[in-house]
Amino acid sequence: MESAAVPTPHDSSSAGARAPEVGGKGLKAGALGYLSNLVIGVASTAPAYSIAVTLGFVTAIAGMGFHAPAVMIVSFIPMLLIAAAYNYMNKADPDCGTSFTWVTRALGPRLGWLTGWAIVAADVVVMATLAYIAGVYTFLLFGMHAAAANILDVSIIAAIWIVLMTWICYVGIELSARIQYGLLGIEILTLGLFAIVALWKVYVSGSALSGSSHIALSWFSPFDLPGGTTALVSGVLLGVFIYWGWDSGVCVNEESEDSANGPGKAAVMSTILLVLIYVVVAASSQAYAGPEFLTNNAEDVLGALGGSVLGSPLDKLLIITVLTSASASTQTTILPTARTTLSMARFGSIPKAFGRIHPRYLTPDVSTLAMGAISLVWTLIIINLSTSVLSDAITGLGFQIAFYYGLTGFACVVYYRREIFKSVRNFIMVGVAPLLGGLALAFVFVKALITYSDPAETETGSSFLGVGVPVAIGVGLLLVGVVVMVFANVAYPKFFARKTEVVNPGILEGTVKGEASVMAD
Amino acid sequence: MGEIIVGYDGSEVGRAALREASALAKELGDRVVIVFGYAPGGYGGGEIPTHREAVEELGEKITAEATELAESLGVEHTVELLPLRPDHALLKAAEERDARMIVVGSYGEPPLRGVILGSTPHKLLHTADRPVLVVPASN
């Protein structure tokens, strides 16, 4: 590899000398259409898994009452606004799909570096819950309820799970787009079936659980929560987590037809599809069993409800759905993280080894293995501490996601600042929308920070370093990032001396197409 | 002048294939076409173009080595880097040039492992429309 290569935008002339007869770069382009992007966006979010591990913690929030469906809707709003930011950043720089490069360009290398750190930290933290769920559901699939409740047994499966998934990413095996369509189709159909049967039992056959009640319009209203704004914001912090992942659909950019437009639109569509899934499943679960039941089974709501709603053997379908959803999510966790560190390495902001490509598998092998190893250690520690630490980790994750999604929103406004006042459309789409998204996430971040600093508000109930566990995990890891960055600053002065950039005005006028930025020396 | 397509990935296996192909080409008065197929795997999001660039760079490095080796073997050669999976890249190059045959090296892996990892010789043997020569890595 060459010495620290620094990408520059709008410059395609300086591509390194190519070997003779290089095939057209776009041969694979066009392989992924709009539908694929949509599928990837939704599948990466892993709706079945996300709702299984989150819904119960939302209902568990003090003062939430019956308003979990409202949280699903409200959380969707900042996500939609940030989707607009992704859409426009992708137009300008379809080269690098994640926030690291965009924030580096718009807001400078320090915030960019921290964004990269936040992405990696969030992905490592989520691995614990993913692997835990994979462990529990594997046992549930075979009816081994005792093993599913045994931490040691679950730890073993969780470890095997992470090793297997890391290996799959390492050797670069992937499911074909067709299989992904199939899996996602089954996932949505199963969740739909679950919702319909649950509602049938509530309204028609009357065979729902004792906490059952009819759906009320107030469930969807964010304005009259018993716990007020505090409860709503705590809910949104979790809600941010369930929508996390759709950015993957944006990130495939170049491989898609019309790479500057398609993926962004797909990201917006997939967000809308997700909100529908979540609201329907949340409302029907709550109607069927009541919030108290969901709270008591917060670690895996769908596992707890499946047997009762669908009965045997259809409940296995639900378990398989959560498992495939978790596997998709594990892969879309390892893969983008490895690519983020690959990108950071190629920007010369972390050790060059992370930029290594395996000669046979063509995957970023060092990045992938490092991600797997760190996740494994983290997971085994967290699972064995207690399941309440696990739930606080999900809450903590919200901080990291809010941090880097929020920064992406601000990055969009700053990057496009000279274009904002050129038309009403620009003003709304690259000004107001991403700014509001960023501000909303910043508000959630600060408000939740105040709430969860008090250990009494957390699942664990105890404090770590004087603050609640979610804050220790969520904000603590970001602060560790700041410390590490100080060292990185010394080690990689060239990266940290980067100047910020603004967008090429032609991007919005349509005269210039966003180009994949090119590595130059 | 005929052409012999050879898959080269920078490994010992690739070198074995290139040596064998070169020896044959010289005898037949053919030219070798060194093919490196790069298709960074995977959707599932995140920094794909950066990944692609990294792989392209690797491809350039690898084909530079191949050129050097071919020169030292004294065989006439060209290089093709194709953004396709290795088997597709080889088949495409062979078809376009109506090549005499395709030469690839084999890792000598058990067949099942080859199926899981996507063994290129395995795929070629079943899908190629022209002769395929599989060269085991010398050890």
Q: Which residues pair with B77 in a beta bridge?
A: B32
Which one of B49, B50, B60 has the shortest CB-CB distance to A19? B60
Residues of B in Cβ contact (< 8 Å) with A247: 45
Question: What's the pLDDT at A114?
Answer: 96
Which one of B54, B58, B83 has the shortest CB-CB distance to A23? B83
Question: What's the pLDDT at A25?
Answer: 31
Q: Hey, what are B85's tokens? A: 């999976």
- How many of the other CB atoms lie within 10 Å of CB of A454? 12
Q: Hey, what are B58's tokens? A: 């690797």
Highest mean pLDDT among A17-21, A479-483, B10-14, B103-107: A479-483
Taking residues A360-372, what's their average pLDDT?
89
Residues of A in Cβ contact (< 8 Å) with B7: none
SS3 letters across B2-14:
CEEEEECCCCHHH
Judge contact between A476 and A449, C-beta under 8 A.
Answer: no
User: Is pLDDT of A254 > 50?
Assistant: no
- A189-223 residue pLDDT tens: 999 999 999 999 999 988 888 888 899 999 999 98
Is B79 in contact with A172 (Cβ distance < 8 A)?
no
- B21-71 residue pLDDT tens: 999 999 999 999 999 987 765 544 444 667 777 888 888 899 899 999 999
Q: Are strands B3-7 and B31-37 parallel, antiparallel or unpaired?
A: parallel
A121-130, A482-491, A497-506, B105-114: least confident range: B105-114
Q: Hey, what are A251's tokens? A: 């990130």
A145-149, A312-316, B38-42, B70-74: least confident range: B38-42
Highest mean pLDDT among A314-318, A434-438, B121-125: A434-438
Taking residues A477-489, what's their average pLDDT?
95
Query: What distance, in Å, lies between the first and last C-alpha atoms of chain B?
Result: 33
Q: Are strands B101-106 and B77-82 parallel, antiparallel or unpaired?
A: unpaired
Test mutation, A11, A22, A36, A342, chain B, max B CBs within 10 A: A22
Highest mean pLDDT among A39-48, A115-124, A332-341: A115-124
Provide the CA A314 distance to its chain's centre, in angstroms.
29
Question: What's the pLDDT at A335?
Answer: 79
User: Is pLDDT of A9 > 90?
Assistant: no
Strand segments, DSSP code E, in chain B are 3-7, 31-37, 77-82, 101-106, 132-136
Question: What's the pLDDT at A521?
Answer: 30
Q: Is B44 on the interface with A (CB under 8 A)?
A: yes
- B59-104 residue pLDDT tens: 889 989 999 999 999 999 999 988 888 888 999 999 999 999 999 9
Which position has the higher pLDDT, A173 or A1?
A173
Question: What's the pLDDT at A490?
Answer: 94
Ordered DSSP codes for A440-484: HHHHHHHHHHHHHHSGGGSSS-SEETTEEHHHHHHHHHHHHHHHH
Residues of chain A with pLDDT > 90: what percent? 36
Ordered DSSP codes for A78-96: HHHHHHHHHHHHHHH-TT-
Judge contact between A256 and A29, C-beta under 8 A.
Answer: yes
Q: Hey, what are A333's tokens? A: 């966790």
Helical H segments across A142-244, by residue range: 145-148, 151-171, 177-203, 228-243
Mapped onto helix, strand or coil, the DSSP state of residue B36 is: strand
Which position has the higher pLDDT, B91 or A94?
B91
Is B81 in contact with A18 (Cβ distance < 8 A)?
yes
Which one of B49, B54, B62 has the shortest CB-CB distance to A364? B54
Under the banding of pLDDT at 50, 70 and 90, the label for residue A452 is: confident
Give the B window 101-130 contacts with A, CB below 8 Å: 116-118
User: Is pLDDT of A416 > 80?
Assistant: yes
Under the banding of pLDDT at 50, 70 and 90, the label for residue B138 is: low
Q: What whole-number distance in Å separates Cα of residue A427 and Cα of residue A203?
A: 47
Which one of B45, B54, B59 has the shortest CB-CB distance to A342? B54
**Residue A48 — φ and ψ, nearest 5°?**
-65, -45
Residues of A in Cβ contact (< 8 Å) with B79: 19-21
User: Is pLDDT of A107 > 90?
Assistant: yes
Provide the CA A83 distance to its chain's centre, in angstroms.
12
The average confidence (pLDDT) of chain A is: 82
Closest to A303 in 3D by CA, of A322, A284, A277, A286: A322
Q: What whole-number distance in Å separates Cα of residue A28 and Cα of residue A254?
A: 9
Q: Are strands B77-82 and B31-37 parallel, antiparallel or unpaired?
A: parallel
Under the banding of pLDDT at 50, 70 and 90, the label for residue A24 is: very low
Nearest CA in chain B to A45: B44
Q: Hey, what are A53's tokens? A: 């591990």
Q: Is A367 on the interface with B (CB under 8 A)?
A: no
Q: What whole-number distance in Å separates Cα of residue A332 and Cα of residue A50?
A: 13
Is B42 in contact with A2 (Cβ distance < 8 A)?
no
DSSP structural state of residue A256: B
Alpha-carbon separation of residue A422 from A145, A317, A352, A418 (angstroms): 62, 53, 41, 8
Provide the CA A379 distance to its chain's centre, in angstroms.
18
User: Is pLDDT of A139 > 50?
Assistant: yes
Test mutation, B31, B53, B109, B120, chain A, max A CBs within 10 A: B53
Ordered DSSP codes for A16-71: PPPPTTBPPGGGSTTSB-HHHHHHHHHHHH-HHHHHHHHHHHHHHSTT-TT-HHHH
Which position has the higher pLDDT, A34 or A226?
A226
Question: What's the pLDDT at A80?
Answer: 84
Question: What's the pLDDT at A407?
Answer: 95
- pTM for the model stands at 0.83
Q: What angle do CA B132, B73, B95 make, to 5 degrees?
A: 30
Is A516 in contact with B49 (Cβ distance < 8 A)?
yes
Query: At a CB cut-off of 8 Å and minimum separation 6, what does A142 contact?
Result: none
Is B78 in contact with A21 (Cβ distance < 8 A)?
yes
Give the residue carrying structure tokens 């949340």.
A282
Q: What whole-number distance in Å separates Cα of residue A428 and Cα of residue B3?
A: 59
Q: Hey, what are A151's tokens? A: 């931490």
Which position has the higher pLDDT, A75 or B44?
A75
Under the banding of pLDDT at 50, 70 and 90, the label for residue A232 is: very high
